[in-house]
Every structure is written in structure tokens, then in C-alpha cells.
Amino acid sequence: MINLELAKKHRDTLDQTMMLSEHMIRPYSRKYDKEEHTYPKEMEQVAELINVSRSEVMGGKKEERDPDAIVNGGNMGAVVGLFGLCWGDVGLFLAMPGSGLGNAAITAVGTPEQVKKYGGSYAAMCITEPGTGSDSANISTTAVLDGDEWVLNGEKIFVTDGDRADTLVVWATLDKSKGKAAIKSFIVEKGTPGCEVARLEHKMGIRASDTAAINFADCRIPRENILGSEEVADDEEGRKKAFGGVMQTFDNTRPPVAAMAIGTARAALDMARGLLAEEGVELTLGAKPANLGAIEAELVRMEGEWEAARLLVLKAAWMADNRQPNSKEASMCKAKAGRVGNDITLRCVALCQSLGYSEDRLLEKFARDSKILDIFEGTQQIQQLIVARRVLEKSSSDLK
């Protein structure tokens, strides 16, 4: 049996988050878009009202359940909630306390002790480096074991919420010569000597959320703060498994980021359709294509593209909830939603002409915000490469 409708509990989540978005998030959108790097204190109240759980919102929540049961659990709840919140404002959602991407890694692969200690923190993810973007296997930041401590050295850039977070999940290599197998992730508490926020970036979109560059200079952390095993595999199969474990975090976080994109795209579509309706242009679903005007036909096309992206996101989340490998589907939904989000928001700006381009409405902001959702957590090109590898059953060395 296939049921493409949301369960009641998730419909309730969507209704609640969209109501909060309309009345408590979107009214502050323009203010914090203009006041970049100003902390939006109003979002603390929103976070309290929705009881934001870091692991649940960003994916990767561990749940006790019957292994044979079919469920719509934490991952499905996460993408539905994110859709509703980012229908309001994706930048302000990212600025909410406790919504860090690093929490997904801690929850997904951390030990019970690590989850207990850091699962409730505000954790950012530190991956990208000046010389390393989409190729995560090319990490240069080093981690050297010295007694009972790891010593980290390197520079990370484009860290979402890197300034406001109180915990960092840092990707580093134990031995650059051993490639992927030596890449591990480490938990670093903000304020640790040798860990310093170097600067905050000025951005085109999501201005309410800070994006930081962070330096590590002889930064010492406890030995137990490594996520996963310390061992570096010597054989090819072991290297694949080791790096695959690190990369598994993305299978949890890509559907939520895709949900941010479809939430932002839905916001643009709803606003554009409202503005066009005021001018007498309304979408009549079910009408023959020959009877549609150019603008109506464009709206129909965008609605179809949006629905396809939405269903891909729900499928990837459902697979995660039911412990099915979803790496291909996670990349598919991220690629589709990222591309659709960019296309829809820009087309809505164009269709609404001066109102779309001006700051009198939020359409131009939705368009600016949407671009990052096609970039972070893996660019469009990287997602397509991952999908191709999965479909063709090729390794990264076979298909680059």
C-alpha cells in the first residue's frame, strides 16, 4: 500500500510551524536581513514554543522501536517542521538557538556519553577549508594525538552559526598521506584555547544567520572527543568504510536542507500567486494547456516541479526513519529541491515584475536566500555525481 499523505501528527506539525512562521518569524525577516550579524533574540521565544530538538530538527534522531514496524518518525518530522519554519524565513530558522548541523553528527555517530554531554549543545559543523570545498576527502586540517589529547591545526571557512554555536564538530585528518580513511570528526567546545573565530562573512542571503571563519592553532581537546574510531584502515575496503561512516552524516542532513529549499520555494509561490491574483491572474488547475495563458502555464510548471521535489524529500526521510540506506535518495532530493528552489524563487520575482524586485515584498529576499540551499551540504554538481555513482554502481575513483 502506498500512502502519499502526511500522517496527522505531521500535518499538525506543519500547521503549527507555518502559523508561527506567519506571525512570529516573517514579521522580522526584513529587519534582520538589513541588520546582518545582529542576533535575533525574538527567535529564542519561537524555539521555546516549538520545543526545538537539535537532533530531531536536523535529522539523525535515534529512536527505540520495533525493527519490523513501518514508521514516520523523527526524520519525517524534521523535514515537515523545517518546511513550515523555512516557509517563514530560512535565515531566521538557522539563527534559532540549537539548530546546528553539528548536532546531527553527534547524534548519528556519537557514543552514549558524547550524546549525553553534547547532544543538547548548539553544535556547528566545520568542514569547508580555503583549499577544500565540495571534495570533503581533501581535508587539510590536522589532528595529532599527544598523550590523552588531540591537537588540531587548520582553518575552516563558511561555518554556519560558527560564532553563535557553543560546540563545533570539526573534520580533520590523522594522516594526510592515507587519504579518506584518515579523516575523522572531533567535538571542540567553543572557548577552548587555540580555537578562534577569525571573521564573519557578509552574504547575499540568509543574513540573519552568521557564517564564520574559524582558526585552530594547537587547539587541544580530550582524546574521547573523537567521533567514531581512532583506527585508520590500511586496506581499500576499510578506507571506504571509514570515510563512508564520516559521510553518513550527510544522509541525515541533506533531506532537511532540501526541506528548507521547498519551504522557501513554497513561500515564493504562495506570495507570487497572491500578488498575481490581485491583478486578475489566477491558476486554474485542471484546465487544458491550450486554455492557459503564459503566466498560468508557468505557474502550473512550477507547481509540478515543486511537488516532485517535495515527494523526493519525503521519500528520503521515510527511508531514514525505516533504516533503509538512503544515500542516493538523500542526494536526489537535495539536488532536485536545490535546483527547483532557485528556479521557482527567481521566476516568481520575474513574474511579479517591480513588486518582485523591490523590497516592498519578500520575494527578492526569498530568491537571495534560496541560492545557498543549492550549495551547502553538497553542491548541485556533487549531488549529481553521487547519484550517478549509486545508479552505475561505480566508486569515486571510477567516476569523478
**Active-site positions?**
377
All cell numbers assigned to 241: 568504510
> What is the identity of the amino acid at 125?
M
Instruction: Work out the number of other CB atoms within 10 angstroms of the CB of residue 196.
Output: 14
Q: How many CA atoms lie within 13 A of 47 on its CB side?
A: 19
C-alpha span between 60 and 228 (Å, rounded): 15
Bridge pairing between strands 195-200 and 149-160: unpaired
Contact assessment for residue 131 and residue 138, using Cβ atoms and an 8 Å cutoff: yes
In our burial notation (b when 16+ CB lie closer than 10 A, e otherwise), range 212-247 reads bbbbbeebbbeeebbbbeeebbeeeeebbebbebbb
What torsion do the CA atoms of 183, 188, 194, 200 make, to the nearest 10 degrees? 90
- Give CA–CA dist 284/224, Å, rounded: 60
